[in-house]
Amino acid sequence: MSKQITFIDLFAGIGGFHIALHNVGAKCVFASEIDRFSRETYIANFKSISPDLFNKNYFAGDIRNINPFDIPNFDILCAGFPCQPFSQAGYKKGFQDELQNRGNMFFEILKIINIKKPNVIFLENVRHLKKHDEGRTFNIIKKHIESQGYSFHYKVVKASDHGLPQHRPRLFIVGFLKEKFANISFDFPEPEPLVSSMSDIFNGQCMKKIGYTLRVGGRSSGIDDRRNWDTYLVDNKIIRLSVEHAKKMQGFPRNFIFPVSETQAMKQLGNSVAIPAIEATARKIVTYIQTIKNQQIGQINNYEQIF
């Protein structure tokens, strides 16, 4: 029987990756998040699910202060690294973004990859990363990942491709360590039908079947404002998204709690990943890893039988 697959959760936010990977049977052995409010939410929701993270001091803060040698061995590196440098909201500064060195956070991930050499890398960012600086930024990322001995697979995935009623296109990058997965030809999961609409989110008749992509800023701009993303017409009444509505749009479980203000909770949800989209890709990754591990165990067993 193969060992449980493990992962680390970098730039963890409020744990969207954690929930998705946990749902496919993987165990989180290390996490990192710098924002104090997001840390509060993460601790409140995962202390019972992954107690070792907190009992063994494996829930770190600033990734720049992490010694990769202090991270337990793991199978999958997950990271929704800062998207502001590559997004329209962040003016697309990319690697030139000096605000808390956000643009350079990819290279912090690379340090960990270089030392720990996980089986798989699973990264998420805004779709604009692919075209940023006429594709040069994306090519730098691709070049560095491949130079570490990994394959490189990418796709723009929408939350609405995996059942959720918001478009939320995000760039997924997956890389397999070639020395262990030499013959892997990875394909991202096929789109799935919607399982709910905005009418289901509001429990009333909404004019929009698929909602606006959740954002961080610009709340309450008004239903007629072209920048509006959180106000809808439901049963002929103007309704603004609540935390509970946003949770459903991102695929968070009902029992997920926010020990922070409503403003912080909405910000955290706007920064988070769409869980079913992450989970669908994670399930495929885990299947690939388990297949290879089972083959290796079979080879060992055959060797022992021969000798």
User: What are the residue numbers of the active site?
Assistant: 83
For residues 132 and 92, the answer to whether their CB atoms sit within 8 Å is: yes
- Strand partners of residue 231: 240
Task: In whole angstroms, give the CA distance from residue 130 to residue 139.
Answer: 8
Task: In whole angstroms, give the CA distance from residue 59 to residue 56.
Answer: 8
For residues 165 and 209, the answer to whether their CB atoms sit within 8 Å is: yes
Range list of H helices, the chain: 16-23, 36-46, 51-55, 105-116, 136-147, 198-202, 243-250, 262-271, 275-306
Task: In whole angstroms, give the CA distance from residue 122 to residue 189.
Answer: 14
